[in-house]
Amino acid sequence: MPMQKHIVRRFDSFDDMRLAHLRDCQRLSTDEINDIAWQMVIEYRQMYDIQPHEPRLQRHVTSVRRS
């Protein structure tokens, strides 16, 4: 993944910052969102020195049955 340039923006309120963040996220493709999420997993593992055999994302699965 190439190094990205970071831009510092200032906002007058938390709501303005939140809206800008949502607009930025909506511009990303699904693959870009997945890459960012995976990078967060890797950074978390490095911060807390977690060494599993293979890093992986977990999904919670709920089973629904009709009776």
Asked whether the beta carbons of 11 and 20 are under 8 A apart, the reply is yes
Q: How many domains would you assign to the chain?
A: 1
Distance, in Å, from the CA atom of 30 to the CA atom of 35, rounded to the nearest integer, reads 9
Distance, in Å, from the CA atom of 19 to the CA atom of 24, rounded to the nearest integer, reads 9
pLDDT at 42: 84
Q: Which residues of the chain have a pLDDT value below 70?
A: 1-4, 52-61
Rounded (10°) CA dihedral 13, 15, 28, 39: 70
22 located within any domain: yes
Q: Which domain holds residue 19?
A: 14-47
59 located within any domain: no
Residue 65, φ and ψ in degrees, nearest 5: -120, 140
31 located within any domain: yes
